[in-house]
């Protein structure tokens, strides 16, 4: 990995400890052997730990100079001689667990050289900040705001009047948070806009009459929201983001939307007003969801799809409009055959 490093190089760690962190079994190599860094397969040298879970990278694995490799049971025999083998149930998940131990500061965007409240921040005298809150230069904390201990408000963020933010949160640089209530350990990356007006108009020939948006945004614990994502406040009820949900960059969430617990929304997803995602829904990038539809618990939606009607729990869907993936694949294949037949005529 090229310099400069933005995270401290970890102290050497034995393979015995790595195996404990990764819930892995050391099947080749001595438990006292140490690793001192992590690296991609193709760049790894002596002292490096790597992982392998995708056969597309088999050539890189065969040529790796790493000291040790995290790998699933079905791929353990692919690891070259001379490389210690740690077999784990899920190599990528184990890799994440080990990285969290080796580079704890990379787990949260809370790392900062500023502590306490900067003299160049503006904090309204009616705001209530618990101990150990950090407010960086240029940030503005409005009237009657409440912020819990351990939270970091980064440079130039704006926290609107009456907003409540829980403990150990991170409000990214240049973010705006208003008309919102955030739980604990919520992370907003730079440029997030949360709690602004929803897009509501009574349209007519005499002009489009703005409908006041009087709801809030409620974000539960352990939610992470990517850069430049926008979450509109509710019109006549709250917009809600459930516990543990992970939202990528540049996602649009309209007013009155309900996102359940532990959902995953990939970049450029758009959720129209008043749609509902039940728990554990996953939606691929650039997919749009029409207003007032419900996506059932555990459903998965392929990228670049359009959800225009309710989808049942647990299914896999894709296409425009979204439909069960088997049906979608059959339709794509049929269209391809028709096109090939036409080219041959």
Active site (annotated) includes residue 255: yes
Q: Which member of 30, 75, 255, 292 is catalytic? A: 255
Query: Would you list the domain boundaries of the chain?
Result: 13-107, 122-326
Q: Do domains 13-107 and 122-326 have the same CATH topology?
A: no
Q: Tokens 């979450």 identify what position? A: 231
Tell me how crowded residue 258 is: count the other CB atoms within 10 A of its CB. Answer: 19
CATH no. for 13-107: 3.40.1390.10
- Put simply, whether the predicted model's pTM sits higher than 0.85 gets the answer yes
Query: 176 forms bridges with which residues in the sheet?
Result: 158, 193
Q: What is the pLDDT along the chain (345 residues), one digit of tens a residue?
A: 455 577 888 899 999 999 999 999 999 999 999 999 999 999 999 999 999 999 999 999 999 999 999 999 999 999 999 999 999 999 999 999 999 999 888 876 556 666 799 999 999 999 999 999 999 999 999 999 999 999 999 999 999 999 999 999 999 999 999 999 999 999 999 999 999 999 999 999 999 999 999 999 999 999 999 999 999 999 999 999 999 999 999 999 999 999 999 999 999 999 999 999 999 999 999 999 999 999 999 999 999 999 999 999 999 999 999 999 999 999 989 988 888 887 665
Please tell me the distance from the alpha carbon of residue 127 to that of residue 129, in angstroms, as a whole number: 6
What CATH architecture does domain 122-326 belong to?
3 Solenoid (2.160)
Overall residue count recorded for the chain in this entry: 345
| Nearest residue to 225 via CA among 193, 198, 202, 248 | 248
């Amino acid at each position: 990995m090229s310099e400069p490093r933005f995270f401290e190089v970890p102290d050497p760690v034995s393979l015995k400890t790595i195996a404990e962190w990764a819930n892995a079994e050391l099947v080749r190599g001595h438990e006292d052997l140490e690793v001192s860094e992590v690296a991609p397969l193709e760049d790894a040298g002596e002292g490096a730990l790597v992982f392998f879970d995708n056969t597309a990278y088999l050539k890189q694995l065969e040529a790796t100079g790493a000291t040790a490799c995290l790998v699933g049971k079905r791929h353990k025999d692919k690891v070259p001689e001379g490389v210690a083998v740690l077999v784990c149930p899920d190599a990528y998940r184990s890799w994440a667990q080990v990285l969290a131990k080796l580079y704890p500061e990379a787990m949260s965007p809370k790392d900062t050289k500023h502590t306490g409240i900067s003299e160049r921040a503006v904090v309204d005298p009616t705001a209530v900040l618990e101990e150990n809150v950090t407010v960086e230069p240029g940030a503005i904390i409005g009237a009657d705001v409440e912020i819990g201990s351990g939270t970091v408000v980064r440079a130039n963020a704006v926290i609107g009047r009456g907003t409540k933010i829980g403990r150990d949160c991170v409000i990214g640089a240049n973010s705006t948070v208003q008309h919102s209530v955030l739980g604990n350990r919520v992370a907003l990356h730079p440029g997030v806009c949360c709690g602004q007006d929803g897009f509501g108009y009574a349209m007519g020939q005499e002009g489009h009459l703005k409908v006041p948006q009087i709801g809030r945004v409620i974000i539960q614990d352990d939610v992470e929201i990517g850069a430049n994502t926008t979450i509109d406040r509710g019109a006549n009820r709250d917009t809600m983001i459930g516990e543990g949900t992970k939202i990528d960059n540049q996602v649009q969430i309209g007013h009155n939307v309900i996102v359940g617990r532990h959902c995953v929304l990939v970049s450029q997803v758009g959720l129209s007003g008043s749609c509902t995602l039940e728990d554990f829904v996953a939606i691929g990038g650039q997919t749009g969801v029409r207003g007032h539809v419900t996506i059932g618990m555990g459903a998965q939606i392929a990228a670049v799809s359009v959800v225009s009607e309710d989808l049942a729990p647990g299914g896999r869907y894709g296409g425009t409009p979204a439909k069960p993936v088997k049906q979608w694949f059959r339709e794509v294949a049929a269209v391809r055959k028709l096109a090939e037949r036409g080219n041959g005529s």
